[in-house]
C-alpha cells in the first residue's frame, strides 16, 4: 500500500517558486489500478515524480507498506519496489536495449528479455542489440521504457502517459499487460492518462487539477460525465458552479 500524507511540492522555475502539489492525501491499495487524470499542468506527473523521489518534497510523507520512503534517494525507492515510466524517456548513446532491460530485470536471461519486448509489441531480434539513441522513434522509445518497468517486480508501478506514440495493436496489448501485471504480481498500477480506454481500466480514477485532488471516482462515473460536460469542466467542478453545464 502506498500512502501519501499532506504532500506539498514546490519547485524553482524560471519564474520563481511554483507550488505544484498542494497538500495531497492519497491511499493506494495493493492490487488496484488507478488512473490519474486532469488538465495539463495540473500536477499529475508531479505526484508520480515526488513518489519516485525525482522531485523533492517540501513537506508531507510518503509511506510504502508502512515504511516512510520520503527521505530515500531515487535508487533506494526503486529498490523498495517503486517504479516510474517516463513520459519522455531519455536516449542513451552507447547503451543497448539489452543492457537497459538487464539492469532493470537484474538478469541477462535472454528468454526474459525476449518476453519483455514481446509484451510491448517489439521483436527482440530486431531491438535487443540496438543502441537507445536518436534512431528510435518516440513510440519505440516509449515501448522500451514500459518494458523496463515490466522487467521489475514492483509494488507500485507508475506509467506517465504510456499510450503516447503507441499504435492501436500495441495499445490493446499494453492494456492487457497492465491487467496481467496487476493480477499476476499484485502490483499497484498508477497510470497518468487522458485516454478513455485507459480510464476504463481503472478501479479508481483520481482527478487532479491545480496541484490538488479534486475528486476520486469510478471510471463509469467520470466517463458518463464526460458525455455531458466540456472536458475542461470535468477536471474542475468549480467552473460549473452556479449553472447547468452545456450538454454536447
d(CA 209, CA 47): 11
* CB 85 within 8 Å of CB 148: yes
* CB 160 within 8 Å of CB 85: yes
Gyration radius of the chain's alpha carbons: 18
Q: Does residue 225 touch another protein according to CB under 8 A?
A: no
Q: Does residue 42 touch another protein according to CB under 8 A?
A: no
Q: Does residue 243 touch another protein according to CB under 8 A?
A: no
* Contact residue for another protein among 73, 126, 183, 196 (CB under 8 A): 73
Q: Which is nearer to another protein, 142 or 219 (CB)?
A: 142
Nearest CA to 32 out of 149, 206, 174, 196 is that of 206
Stretch that binds another protein, among 34-42, 68-76, 182-190, 195-203 (CB under 8 A): 68-76
Q: Does residue 103 touch another protein according to CB under 8 A?
A: yes
- Percentages helix, strand, coil for the chain (3-state, rounded to 5) are 40, 25, 35
Q: Which helix (H) or strand (E) holds 101?
A: helix 97-105
Q: Which is nearer to another protein, 162 or 202 (CB)?
A: 162
Q: Does residue 226 touch another protein according to CB under 8 A?
A: no
Binding mask 104-123 for another protein (x = CB under 8 A): x-x-----------------
* CB 43 within 8 Å of CB 211: yes
* Contact residue for another protein among 63, 78, 216, 223 (CB under 8 A): 78
**Which residue ranges make up the site for another protein (CB under 8 A)?**
52, 54, 73-75, 78-79, 83-84, 86, 89-90, 92-96, 99-100, 103-104, 106, 148, 152
Amino acid at each position: 500500500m502506498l500512502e501519501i500524507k499532506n504532500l506539498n511540492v514546490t519547485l524553482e522555475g524560471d519564474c520563481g517558486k511554483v507550488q505544484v502539489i498542494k497538500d495531497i492525501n492519497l491511499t493506494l491499495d495493493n492490487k488496484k489500478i488507478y488512473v490519474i487524470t486532469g488538465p495539463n499542468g495540473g500536477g499529475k506527473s508531479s505526484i508520480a515524480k515526488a513518489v519516485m523521489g525525482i522531485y523533492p518534497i517540501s513537506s508531507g510523507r510518503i509511506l510504502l507498506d508502512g515504511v516512510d520512503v520520503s527521505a530515500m534517494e531515487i535508487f533506494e525507492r526503486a529498490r523498495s519496489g517503486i517504479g516510474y515510466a517516463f513520459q519522455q524517456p531519455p536516449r542513451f548513446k552507447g547503451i543497448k536495449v539489452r543492457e537497459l532491460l538487464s539492469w532493470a530485470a537484474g538478469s541477462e536471461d535472454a528468454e526474459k528479455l525476449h518476453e519483455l519486448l514481446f509484451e510491448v509489441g517489439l521483436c527482440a531480434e530486431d531491438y535487443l542489440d540496438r543502441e537507445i539513441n536518436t534512431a528510435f522513434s518516440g513510440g519505440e522509445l516509449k515501448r522500451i521504457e514500459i518494458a523496463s518497468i515490466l522487467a521489475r517486480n514492483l509494488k507500485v508501478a507508475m506509467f506517465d502517459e504510456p499510450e503516447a506514440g503507441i499504435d492501436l495493436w500495441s495499445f490493446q496489448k499494453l492494456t492487457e499487460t497492465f491487467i496481467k501485471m496487476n493480477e499476476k504480481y499484485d502490483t499497484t498500477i498508477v497510470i497518468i492518462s487522458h485516454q478513455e480506454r485507459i480510464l476504463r481500466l481503472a478501479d479508481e480514477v483520481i482527478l487532479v487539477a491545480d496541484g490538488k485532488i479534486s475528486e476520486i471516482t469510478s471510471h463509469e462515473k467520470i466517463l458518463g460525465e464526460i458525455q455531458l460536460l466540456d472536458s475542461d469542466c470535468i477536471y474542475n467542478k468549480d467552473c460549473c458552479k452556479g449553472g447547468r453545464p452545456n450538454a454536447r
